[in-house]
């Protein structure tokens, strides 16, 4: 069986991925070969007995840089082993990774991810290899491994057959069926510490429940991430737009039990 997507991860610390790859949905996806994750230790391309991969920056300054003459041959060899994959390099200045970027990557057969460490890469790595530079947020990690995990887990959820309910990845926050935030969700018990499940969700009226969820999704977004509304406002004329709401169901999601308030 051929996997839907193969992820090649180039890292100095492949052991970081051991627990990540051996749990939950990701483990099942690997077992059933719906995806493949291959780890490559970049130190294998070091030429000295100490497996040196970094050196001090020219011009001085703090930290160490990953050496161009170690990283470039490593990437080139990995790419030659089969049809070259889409090459991502995790850097602070890269394109911001989001759900739409993940959906784009989910159409690829092979994704090669280059994980930096220390102060990053010698700039010539980017100049020679011309990777897509990617960032998962405006903060600094110790290396690109956590970013690679985020990409694998996000893209994996979009591969058909991996999730139990195929609608899950369509109506999650930011996803194709709902570019804004998801609505609030509830399960048993019906009441806990004075907070009750909205009565509409217990009504059995599926049309009204769907309407409530649509409106609650918009409400959640207005309150918590109003910036997302601008991104979908141009599509507000569409019948399926999340901006089309029913005012009668725009009440607050969590309803305080009146008996507890007395």
pLDDT per residue as tens digits for the range 195-253: 999 999 999 999 999 999 999 999 999 999 999 998 776 555 444 455 554 444 333 33
**What's the CATH code, domain 5-156?**
3.40.1280.10
Exactly one of 70, 110, 157, 213 is catalytic; name it. 157
CB atoms within 10 A of CB 189: 9
Q: Is 119 known to be catalytic? A: yes
In this model, does residue 262 exceed pLDDT 50?
no
Exactly one of 119, 153, 182, 208 is catalytic; name it. 119
Q: Is 73 known to be catalytic? A: no
- Could you give the residue range(s) of every CATH 3.40.1280.10 domain in the chain? 5-156
In this model, does residue 257 exceed pLDDT 80?
no
- Could you give the residue range(s) of every CATH 1.10.1270.20 domain in the chain? 178-261
CATH superfamily of 178-261: tRNA(m1g37)methyltransferase, domain 2 (1.10.1270.20)
Exactly one of 92, 103, 108, 211 is catalytic; name it. 92
- What is the CA 135 to chain-centroid distance, rounded? 11
Q: Is 172 known to be catalytic? A: yes
Q: Is 179 known to be catalytic? A: no
| 45-57 pLDDT per residue, tens | 998 888 999 999 9
Q: 56 is written with which tokens?
A: 């001090």
In this model, does residue 255 exceed pLDDT 80?
no
Exactly one of 172, 182, 208, 211 is catalytic; name it. 172
């Amino acid at each position: 069986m051929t996997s839907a997507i193969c992820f090649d991860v180039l890292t100095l610390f492949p052991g970081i991925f051991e627990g990540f790859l051996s749990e939950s949905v990701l483990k099942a996806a690997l077992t059933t070969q719906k995806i493949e994750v291959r780890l490559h230790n970049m130190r294998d391309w070091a030429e000295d007995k100490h497996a040196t991969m970094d050196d001090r920056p020219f011009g001085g300054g703090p930290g160490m840089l990953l050496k161009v003459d170690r990283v470039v041959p490593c990437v080139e060899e990995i790419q030659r082993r089969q049809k070259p994959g889409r090459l991502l390099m995790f850097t602070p200045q890269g394109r911001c990774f989001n759900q739409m970027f993940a959906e784009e990557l989910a159409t690829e057969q092979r994704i090669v991810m280059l994980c930096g460490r220390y102060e990053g890469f010698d700039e010539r790595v980017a100049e020679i290899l011309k990777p897509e530079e990617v960032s998962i947020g405006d903060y600094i990690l110790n290396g690109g491994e956590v970013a690679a995990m985020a990409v694998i887990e996000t893209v994996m959820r979009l591969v058909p057959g991996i999730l139990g309910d195929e609608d899950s990845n369509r109506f999650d926050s930011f996803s194709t069926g709902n570019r804004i935030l998801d609505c609030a969700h509830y399960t048993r018990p019906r009441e806990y510490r004075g907070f009750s499940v909205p009565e509409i969700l217990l009504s059995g009226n599926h049309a009204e429940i769907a309407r409530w969820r649509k409106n609650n999704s918009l409400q959640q977004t207005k309150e918590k991430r109003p910036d997302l509304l601008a991104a979908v406002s141009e599509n507000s004329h569409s019948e399926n737009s999340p901006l089309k709401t029913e005012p009668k169901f725009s009440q607050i999601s969590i309803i305080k039990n009146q008996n507890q308030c007395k």
